[in-house]
A = this chain, B = another copy of it.
Amino acid sequence: MAEIIEPRTLRGFRDSLPETESRKLEIQQELTRVFRSFGLVPIDTPAMEYAEILLGKGGGETDKQVYRFLDHGQRHVALRFDLTVPFARFMAAHYHELPLPFKRYHMGKVWRGENTQRGRYREFIQIDFDIVGVDSSSADFEIMTIMAESMVSLKIRAFHVHFSHRQLFNELLENMGLAGVYLPVLQAIDKLKKIGAREVEAQLVEISGKQRAREILGFITTEATNRETLNKLCSALPKGSQAVARLESILQCIEPCELDSVLLLDPSITRGLDYYTGVVFETFLDRVPDIGSVCSGGRYNDLASLYTKEKLPGVGASIGLDRLVSALEDLGVSSSAKTAPDILVVFLDEPLLGVYHKLSKSLRENGLSAEIYPSEKKLKAQLKYAEKRGIPLAIFHGENEKGRNEYNLRDLRTRQNYEALSFEGLLDKASELLK
């Protein structure tokens, strides 16, 4: 006999069992509905690309994590490690055949050979959405609205989309004569939500002295309302600040849409990536702050400069599906994804197999999902299977019932029986019980 190969998966890679997979699909479906309601369209790109395309300038931390190899034609290829780089390449290749501005969403797997000790996975699903080809506050605000409506659609009640503008700090530090320490100041502030205000203050004091540190901390605090925060920024910055003007325009959209309590102007948001040039945003769940942002993004002024001379400004955000799934679990948000059909047709008499299949077909035609236990096993085994699957209803239809054209229905949750039903009666009772 051949040796058995142990059926293991690679570290950092996971099987998705029916319950988890149903949940993931349910979330993707909900988000799709939201994206579509805003006129976003779906795209996909290959999982594998030329390494030079995906790595671009290269040299970053991500690079070491990228899965790269030689393919059958000795080409240097790599697996995508995010959906942003492939999207940039996609836009460079297709912008001339697409309507601009182009609004797309993209859901797909990405791979990173990360250190799994930090609870990270090496295969995960990203969900990205962007509006490309326009630099406007309307597009900025629309992306934020999509972020907020995405959270609402997933029944997350307590969340905030924190937003700011990357240029605020350039302008502020220049105004304070601190342009030289821009990077260390930003790095300190970026840690605010992780290490707290006191620790950040200590770091800022070291960089810029006590007085400046106080001023910077005062600047990045959120006030009671977005308007008050904006007024504070206004007074700290030189007149004609483009960052303030853009934020002002965004507030003028937030207010009539009554999103004040959800979209929060928060000058402490900086986002680490050089990539962003305008508004930036992060989404925090009030009741599970520790997991960090579940949906982040911002405005970039040139998406695809590596691949085309065409200027493609845009704004977008990204959701990590796997992190979101565990956040929803932590929040106790229940899923309405079902993994069981409505009805099990019990296999009582072998000669009635055709009758069972016809019955199952009629149930499906009437909008119910149904399966037939696929072999003539003891009733106990069949009902145990139904219980394990979580199937709520069972139909019993043996030779006797067939003779009388009758069906017996059992609610497996309450063990209540409903006997001698006509087919119409069966449909009515089943629909009633499933409500």
Contacts and interface: CB of A to CB of B under 8 A. Distances in A.
A36 B4 contact: no
Given A36-B341, A50-B8, A45 B15 contact: yes
A41 B339 contact: yes
B15 A375 contact: no
A308 B7 contact: yes
A217 interface: no
A13 to B, nearest CB: 4
Nearest to A258: B358
Given A7-B89, A43-B21, A48-B10, A69 B72 contact: no
B353 A252 contact: yes
Interface in A29-85: 32, 36-39, 41-50, 52-53, 56-57, 64-65, 67, 69-73, 75, 77, 79
Which of the four size classes fits the interface of chain A? 35 or more
A22 B83 CA distance: 18
A41 B99 CA distance: 38
**Residue among A97, A139, A358, A374 having the largest count of chain B Cβ atoms under 10 Å:** A374
Contacts of A354: 252-257
A134 B24 CA distance: 28
State the copy count for this chain: 2
A138 interface: yes
Given A13-B49, A134-B374, A374-B138, A93 B357 contact: no
Contact of A5 (B43, B45, B307, B347): B307
Contacts of A92: 7
A341 B139 CA distance: 16
Nearest to A357: B253
B142 A5 contact: no
Interface string A102-121: 01100001010100000000
Contact of A94 (B17, B25, B46): B17
A39 B256 contact: no
A431 interface: no
B93 A4 contact: no
A101 interface: yes
9 contacts: A2-B305, A5-B306, A7-B304, A7-B308, A16-B43, A22-B41, A39-B391, A41-B340, A141-B357
Interface of A: 2, 4-11, 13-18, 21-22, 24-25, 32, 36-39, 41-50, 52-53, 56-57, 64-65, 67, 69-73, 75, 77, 79, 89-90, 92-94, 97-101, 103-104, 109, 111, 113, 123, 131, 134-139, 141-142, 145, 149, 249, 252-257, 304-309, 338-341, 347, 353-358, 361, 364, 368-372, 374-375, 385, 388-389, 391
